[in-house]
Structure 1
């Protein structure tokens, strides 16, 4: 069962400036997980995710939609699936796969699903903006 799509839902929630009111506390807690991944380390991140897994228990369900046969889905009760998705990404791919955008005017969360763990920006737009700024700074410095 691939839980990456659930982790991506967590990223969308963290980056949402105006989520539904009932999801604001979860958004803030998930944002703290991304902040821990960017700074305080794996043990703090694991402790935060473990605490969230206790508060947001996961309820898997069998489903057979879309002609795919029986398979598991996580029933999303107050964001439990998002928490489980992030925990699964950390467990299978590593804590360094959770990140915050390095573009100076952005701090959006992202999942690094690249094969070489090279993602540093939330989008191609932010990567381009950072690269153009670095290029212009080099040109100014060289003149």
Structure 2
């Protein structure tokens, strides 16, 4: 069962400037998980606390002719937390990131094969590369 899509819910919530009021506390707690990703112990403590607070209730489903498969609970908070925890457990804490463009800072999951993602989107990467190019031209290098 690939839980990356569930982890993407966590990313979308962290990056949402105007989430539903009931999800604002969770957004802030998930943002703290991304901010603590460089310190794996601190990140794990935060994520474990969220897992305890938002337990997952898996269910079997056979919708749309796909046969029996697992779905996580209907609670978006629990599924986002579980997905993020699964990505960290399977791929590592270094897969959680914040955009390196100083004007951005959005959260992202690095699903690249070589763990090289530094920006939340191609747009931010391009903007940073253009800014670096212009700075080099200004400095004559």
TM-score greater than 0.5 by the shorter chain: yes
Partner of 2:87: 89
Gaps of 5+ in 2: none
Q: Which runs of 4+ in 1 moved over 2 A?
A: none
The whole-number CA distance in structure 2 between the counterparts of 1:32 and 1:115 is: 25
Q: How far 1:104 sits from its partner (Å)?
A: 1.4
Task: State whether structure 2 residue 17 is matched by structure 1 residue 17.
Answer: yes
Q: Contact between 1:59 and 1:74, CA under 8 Å: does it hold in 2?
A: yes
Q: How far 1:76 sits from its partner (Å)?
A: 3.1
SS in structure 2 of the partner of residue 118 of structure 1: coil
List per-residue Cα deviations over 1:74-93 (Å, max 9, x = no partner): 01325000000000000000
| TM-score, normalised via structure 2 length | 0.97
The whole-number CA distance in structure 1 between the counterparts of 2:59 and 2:128 is: 43
Partner of 2:36: 36
The whole-number CA distance in structure 2 between the counterparts of 1:78 and 1:123 is: 24
User: May I ask how many residue pairs the two structures share in their alignment?
Assistant: 141
Q: Contact between 1:63 and 1:73, CA under 8 Å: does it hold in 2?
A: yes
Partner of 2:50: 52
Gaps of 5+ in 1: none
